Amino acid sequence: MIKRIVMGLLATVAGLGVGGAGAWGVIQFAPQLLTGHAKKPGSGPTEFVPPVEVLAPLVMADGHLSGYETFEIQLEVPQGTTDDVAAKLPLLMNAVNLRTYRAPLAAGPDGMLPGLDAFRRVVMDAAADVYGKGAVRSVAVTKASPE
């Protein structure tokens, strides 16, 4: 008799554990399956800020300056925030300039090619500081030319 009660309690506890783990997995890995769950902040319509030119130094990994590069970038922002982002572009350019001399942007054997992924990371970090996290969704580097 006691064996049946203990087995019933163990089955109940095991069922609660498996059910709780399944619910946690759905919440963590598939929240879109739940009704009424808030959308992720990255979803929704976006637009691009008009192109902006940025002059950045190409610094090698050892810290030596190999030259300068002009990048043309566009920022992808949520729809309706283009004017607010464009108004603070001088602050973004300052933040980018304060970071580029510390980031090794030079690539290639002679250091004259720009590392676009590194530059994109620098701009995203600067945008997070200037506009706040999530205000700029991505950075498109549309042109890179040597100076």
pLDDT at residue 22 is higher than 60: yes
Determine what percent of the chain is predicted with pLDDT higher than 90: 35
Over range 61-71, report the average pLDDT. Answer: 87
pLDDT at residue 139 is higher than 90: yes
Give the confidence band of 77 by pLDDT, cuts at 50, 70, 90. Answer: very high
Distance CA(69)–CA(55), nearest Å, equals 6
The pLDDT value given to residue 25: 82
Over range 124-135, report the average pLDDT. Answer: 92
Give the confidence band of 40 by pLDDT, cuts at 50, 70, 90. Answer: low
Give the confidence band of 62 by pLDDT, cuts at 50, 70, 90. Answer: confident
The pLDDT value given to residue 137: 92
Tokens of 91: 């602050």
